[in-house]
Each structure stands twice: as C-alpha cells, then as structure tokens.
Amino acid sequence: MRRIVLVTATLLLGAGTLLAGCGSDAPAGGSTATAPAATAATATGSGTAAQAVSQAYATLRAGSYTSTSSTTQEVDASGVDASLRGQVERQFAAGAAEVSTRTRFESPERVAITQDIGGRSQQVVLYDGEVFVSADGTTWARVTGDAAAAFSQASTVAGLDPASLFSDLRADGTATIDGAPATRYSGTVDTAAAGEAVRAAIGGLGELGTAVGDAVQLRSGTVELQVADATGTVARQDITLEIAFDFDALARAAGEGTDGEGGLGTIVLTSTGSEAITDVGGDIVVRKPTATTTVSSVLGLGEFLTS
C-alpha cells in the first residue's frame, strides 16, 4: 500500500498544483502534450468578470513574482475496505495532510518551488527546460525520462488560462490586500474541464499515468480570487476541491494486485488551499542547481525525494 501512495503522490506532484496555483508549478517549455489554447472567452459566467480574471492571470505571468500557499487536506476513508482503512488514514495523514509551498517565479522558464509536505521538504527548480529536485536544498538530482514527464507533461496545462477551468465567475465585492484595494471574484471549478486537464497531464506519463488518471475523479470545487486594483494582477486565491481516489485502480497502476476477492474501495480527499502573491515585478533570480545524480523513472523520483 505504501507503494500505491508513493506512486500516486509522485504523479500528482506536477498536476495537482495546477488548480491551486497560478500555473507556475510546472515548466512552461519542453512539453509534448497537446492542450487547447485558452482565452478569456473560455471562462464562463459574467463576460466582464471572466475577462477581468483572465487578464489578471495574464498580467501576473508576464512578469516576476513570489507566492506562498498553504493547503490542508482531509481524508474520508469510510469507503475503503475495513482491513485497509486505518493504514490508509495514517499514510495520508502523515504524507499529505498539509502542504506549504513557496514559489519564486522569475519567468515561465525559470521557477523555484519549495514545498513542506507532511513534515518533510522538497525543492524543485525548473530552469530553461530542465528539471532539478532536492529533498534538502543541498543534494540535487537532474530529472529526465518518465520522471521529468511528471513535470513537463503538466506544462501545457499550466500554460492554460486558469480562468478557463472555472465556471460562473462573478464580481463579488471589494477587498483589501496589504492595505490596498482589491476586487473579489468568486465561482466554481469546472469539474469536467479541470478534471480533463489534470488527466491529460498525468496521462502523458504513458500506461502508468493513464491508470492513475483513471483512478482520480474531481467531484466539486469552489474558487475565490482577489485582484489588486493597482497592478491588475491576482493577489490571492482560495480554492477548495473534493477529489475521489479509486484504490483498486491505484493498486493496478502501481503494479500490485488486490488481496482477496472484494474491492479496496474509494477514498475522498477534501483539499483547501490559499495562495498569496507578492513581489509582483520584483528582482527575482532563479539559479540553476548543480546536480550530483540523475533520476529517470517515476518511482526513482519518489524514492529520491523520500529517502
């Protein structure tokens, strides 16, 4: 079961942050995946609100910025076979209960990400089409092959206008960000569009990715955004998602058969994330790490980061 969770967490590392982030958590180049171009018109709801949100993301991505985010996750394992329920709850509580992320965005080609996940840390640097990872910020691995696809296949999705993944966007009053005025927008996550985008990113990993993608279902989601009036950029976003994981499909994806004749069941993960964007247009420099090893498989990537 540990291997199932490891495989799932690794595959979702790049794609799982696309909905909760500004598209900065995946490289902008080097992807072979194909995704539809997004424009303001692809977002639904008030035309003015959808266009304003699309423009706010586009303006943000055109420059540099820093963001900090915190995501909490609650697991409902009542739908999992009783023999596995306790183990599933312990593993998800230890490995994915809370995620804190700091992103330094110099440009779409140069991004540095630091994540604290369930008591452990990992760092990712995306530099001119190359991917580097580290568990401690000191020992770095260059990521190639299928392991790099865990990030690069997500890049096309990251390049989409995030507003294209939202529905019913509407202006929802005013707000204050660091003492400055902002406009609030709210809506829902388009489960069909967002789910297809994430599955496309995971599916780019081949047979293993397709199996995991088939095991993940986005059930619902809400979004609230705050756009700074002075800069016209997204200054804060809060997103809640409900995601179901079919453990039988996950077991097959990890190459493990199910024990007994009954099914393993399904868990439901509720993820609540908040991201604050600062230093818009600041002097942000991302440097290329010096790698001492190379990892090329998905499992090798997970083992490097958790060893």
pLDDT the model gives residue 302: 75
pLDDT the model gives residue 262: 54
Tell me: the pLDDT tens digits for 285-300? 999 999 999 998 877 8
Percent of the chain with pLDDT over 70: 67
Tell me: the pLDDT tens digits for 144-154? 987 777 666 55
| Residues 78, 80, 84, 89, CA torsion sign | negative
Q: Is the pLDDT of residue 225 over 70?
A: yes
281, 63 contact by CB (below 8 A): yes
Which of 55-59, 172-176, 198-202, 225-229 has the lowest average pLDDT? 198-202
Task: Quickly state the pLDDT bin for 183 (edges 50, 70, 90).
Answer: very high
Average pLDDT over the chain reads 75
Tell me: the pLDDT tens digits for 5-49? 444 544 444 444 444 444 434 333 332 222 223 333 334 445 689
The two three-digit tokens of residue 193, written as one number: 């569009």
Q: Is the pLDDT of residue 159 over 70?
A: no
Q: Is the pLDDT of residue 192 over 70?
A: yes
Tell me: the pLDDT tens digits for 257-283? 555 445 778 878 788 889 999 999 999
pLDDT the model gives residue 150: 62
pLDDT the model gives residue 219: 87
pLDDT the model gives residue 191: 85
Q: Write the DSSP assignment of 181-204 as a string of letters.
A: EEEEEEEEE-HHHHHHHHHHHHHT
The full set of domains in the chain, from first to last, is 2-306 (2.50.20.20)
DSSP H helical ranges for the chain? 2-15, 47-61, 82-96, 145-152, 155-158, 191-203, 207-215, 247-253, 298-306
* Between residues 234 and 27, the one the model is more confident about: 234
pLDDT the model gives residue 115: 84
Q: Is the pLDDT of residue 252 over 70?
A: no
CA 101 to chain centre: 11
Tell me: the pLDDT tens digits for 68-122? 988 887 778 788 777 777 776 666 655 556 778 899 999 888 989 888 876 778 8
Q: How far is CA 162 from CA 90, 181, 228, 296, in A?
A: 33, 23, 17, 29
Total Cβ atoms within 10 A of residue 187: 25
Task: Quickly state the pLDDT bin for 139 (edges 50, 70, 90).
Answer: very high
